[in-house]
Each structure stands twice: as C-alpha cells, then as structure tokens.
Chain A
C-alpha cells in the first residue's frame, strides 16, 4: 500500500515535470516558429516575440526578486524606513531586463537563420537544461533556503546543460554545416553585403538590427574562412557559434520558471 503511494507520488511528479517542460517548450518554440515563418512576409512578425520576451522577463524577475528580498530581510531591520524604498524590485527588474535584452535578440536571430539541425539540437538542449535546473533546484533545496536554491539551481542547471550542448554544437559548426566557398574569394564588405541582401529589404529598424547581426556573423565567418587551413581558427569559430547554447539554456530555464509559477493557473 505504502509502495503504491510512493509510486503514485513519483508518477505524479514526473507528469508535473513533463507538463512544465511541454508548456515551456510551447512558450519558447511557438513564438520563434511564427517569427521564422512570418518575418520574410512582414515586420509584424516581431509581435510574436512579445509573449516570449514577457515570459523570459518574468522568469528572470521573480527568482531574482525572491533572492533580493531574502537578502534585504536579513540586511534591513523590520522597523527601518529603508524597507519602504529598498524592495529589491529595481535590481530584479534590471537583471530581468538584461536577460531579455541579451536573450531575445540572440534567440530571434538563431531562430531566423539557424539550420534545422541546429534548431533541433537547441530544442533538445532546452529540455536538458529544464530537467537539470529542476533537479539542481531540488538538490540544493535540501541545503539552501528556497529563494537561493531557485536562483542557484537555475544557474547551475542551465550552465551544465549549455556545457553539454556545446560539444555537439561545436561539432555541427566544425564538421557538418557547410561554408559557402564563394566567401573565400570575396572581400569583407562584399561578403557582408551579399548576406544582408538575403534579408528582406524593407528599410525598417528591424532590418537595420538584423543587418547588424548579419554583418557580425558574416565578418566572423569571413575571417575564419580566410584562415580555414588552420584547424584552430575553425574550432574557435565553431566554439563562438556554439555559445548560443548558454543564452538558449538560460532563457529556457527562465521560461520554465515562468510556466512553473503561472502555467497551472
């Protein structure tokens, strides 16, 4: 009877964890898929990224606020008027905004330009980072108070998953994704212009922003292609291209936190 109860409890936990992950994957993948499909047609596709940005912001804000409040509760006397001003909201909001400012454009660019194989790998990385973050949070929860276990668990989980995901991503960029041979015979401005020409030319701020990403990516690829004979150059380029794993994993864990707190309601 007792064993059956434990099994039921375990199964319930697994189901809940799977539901969190599915919801978080939906919040992450659906806006990016719509953005990828609709951007060639219209700049309004950028609206699809708003819910994702909101989820990432809240997913960063709440754990940061919880930890900041715990710190302030220890640091400020209950009767002090400082407590009215120092609520921890500003610091948490700044941290969350930084998370969105870095994470959302990187995810949008990766979602738009990455090949299917890379996108599949990034989705798998999301699942892994979510699982590791939940496990790390639970493990740390035995020793730390909840606000600290939450923030540290998320950081450790996403960091560990990104490190694991880095290996196949470096491999893909190094050995699988083809580099157009033409780039070796072009000058840098010519190569950048050719890539920017592949983006829809609507002359909007979004074009300009994406043009900046395109220019940066192409400049790195061009430089690596010029010295392609040296293995370390290709490896450094592949490693740099794989760093998207850290942003993806951290953003997904933030989205997961958002869906864990609000997804059931």
Chain B
C-alpha cells in the first residue's frame, strides 16, 4: 500500500513538473522576440534562423502570385512582338490574293483541300517560332521572378531576426527545393505545343475555309462573264486569221480565247481589289485578332497552371477540380 502510494505521488509530481515545464517553454517561446526579454537575455549563441513551415509556405505562395502577375503583365507586349510579322504580312498576302496567279493558286489549293497549309505558310510563317520564344521567355521570367521574390521575402525575414543571423539549413533546403521544383513544373513551353500552336493551325484552317467559299463564289460568277467573252473572242480571232488557212484560224481563235480569259481574270481581280481589298484586309486582321486572343487565353491558362503548382491543395479541391 505504501509502495503504491509512493508511486502515485511520484507520478502526479512528475505530471505537475511536466506541466510547469510546458508552461515555461511556451512562455519562453512566446516571449523570445519580445524587446524587453531580448534586452535582458543575452543574444542566443546559434545565429541561424529557421522560418516556420507555414510561413515559408505562404512565402512560396506569394512568390507564385508575384511571378504570375509579372508574366501576365508582359504577355500583351510579347504577343504583339510575336504577331507583328503576321500583321505586317497582311498587305503582301492581299497582293497575292488579288493577283491572277494568287487566285489560281488559291483555287487549286482549295480544290485539293490544302488551303489551310498554304495560308499557314504564307500568313503565319514565323508565328510558331515566335510563340515558342514567347513561351520560353515567360518560363524564364516566371522562374526568375519566383526566385527573386522568394529570396527577397526570406531576406526581409532574416533582416528582421537580427543583423548576423543566417538562414537555417532546413529553410535553405525548402527554398532550393521550391525554386528547382518550379523550374521544371508545368512549363509554358510544353503547354504552348499543346494549345497555342494547334490554335494557329485551327485558325489558318478556319480562315482558309472562309476564303475557299469566297473564291468558289467568285470563280462561279466570273465563269458566266468569261464564257460569253471567250466564245466571242475565239470566233473573232478565228475570223481574222481565216485567210491563213484552217490551222491559223484555230490557233488565232485559241490565242484570242486565252488572252480574253486571262484578261478578263485580270480585269475582274483588279475591280474586286478596288472594291473589296480594304474589307478583305480587315477580315484577315479580325481573324488574326481572334486567333491572338485564343493564343493569349492558352498562355494565361499555362501561366495559371504554373502558379497553381506553387499552391497547396486539399483532396476535396483536387477531386472537385477534375
């Protein structure tokens, strides 16, 4: 009985001592940064500072937000540079379109179903490479801003901790890990091959489809005009050369028909250009604008994916997001 009583008394004394220790340690932890305590107590011997995990998590999140904001603000300028050759190429494409050669090339491509490819090579020749440069630029910018912002926040925290304090090993590890991870996670360059470049192809195909309808309509209208002109021209040519015999008559008739055929084409193309070129260029510009907006959305989504890669998630959010 006595032994049991001693055990119980010792047990409760131990619990009370531990409770006192818990209170003491908690108070010390709370008061460590208090200016009065800091003045009374000598400065601590170890001069390393570990940033709490939750605070570091917030810093990583903030750095992700800053990197996202910085790159989205650059996006319009970068896209403008990438699309500049496309806009600059509109007059040249219109020249080609309003030429007899261009008309026949387009008609042939439309008949073969290759008009999208033709338009892509003529109107967007450098856009693919330009968008790749934009993506690489955004990736580099994102990582640089993320790293600089995180370093800046950690430096501020260290400065607040004391003049000679260095960063703790664990915090350094997490910082390096976060930066190296963000460098390889969800790059925009990968996303652009999945979204932006197919968007360019789709835009070229859509533009080609619209153009093919117009070209077919134009060809049909011209066909009726040319049929009477060519018939008349061939008859007149044959009549003029009839003194030279039947062969000369046929050759003259065919030559006159060809001259009238292409002459009519040239005349109609010039009239079409005179009345419709501005509208055609405006149409092209509008279609390119639409495509550019689509590419921008794709890039914004890719940047957002990079930003999200710096954020924590709950399983509920992850399941709901998919």
A residues near B (Cβ < 8 Å) are 26-27, 30-31, 33-34, 37-38, 48, 51, 54-55, 173-182, 185-186, 194, 197-198, 224, 228-231, 233-235, 237-238, 262, 265
B177 x A37 contact (CB < 8 A): no
- The interface-forming segment of B109-117, B220-228, B307-315 is B307-315
Chain A residues closer than 8 Å to B22, beta-carbon distance: 30, 33-34, 37
Chain A residues closer than 8 Å to B315, beta-carbon distance: 173-175, 179, 224, 228, 231, 233-235, 237-238
Q: What's the minimum C-beta distance from A242 to chain B, rounded to whole angstroms?
A: 12
Contact with A along B1-31 (1 / 0, CB 8 A): 0001100100100110011011001100100
Q: What's the minimum C-beta distance from B206 to chain A, rounded to whole angstroms?
A: 32
Chain A residues closer than 8 Å to B184, beta-carbon distance: 185
Cβ of B322 under 8 Å from chain A: yes
B310 x A262 contact (CB < 8 A): no
Inter-chain CA distance A30–B15, complex, in Å, is: 7
Q: What's the minimum C-beta distance from A114 to chain B, rounded to whole angstroms?
A: 13
Further pairs besides A30-B22, A265-B8: 15, Cβ < 8 Å:
A27-B15, A30-B15, A30-B18, A34-B22, A51-B15, A175-B314, A175-B317, A178-B313, A178-B314, A180-B312, A181-B312, A185-B184, A198-B170, A229-B318, A231-B315
Chain B residues closer than 8 Å to A235, beta-carbon distance: 315
A181 x B314 contact (CB < 8 A): no
Chain B residues closer than 8 Å to A33, beta-carbon distance: 22
9 contacts between A and B (CB under 8 A): A174-B315, A178-B314, A181-B308, A181-B310, A181-B313, A186-B181, A194-B177, A198-B170, A262-B11
B residues near A (Cβ < 8 Å) are 4-5, 8, 11, 14-15, 18-19, 21-22, 25-26, 29, 53, 57, 170, 173-174, 177-178, 181, 184-185, 308-319, 321-322
Inter-chain CA distance A38–B25, complex, in Å, is: 8
Q: What's the minimum C-beta distance from A169 to chain B, rounded to whole angstroms?
A: 13
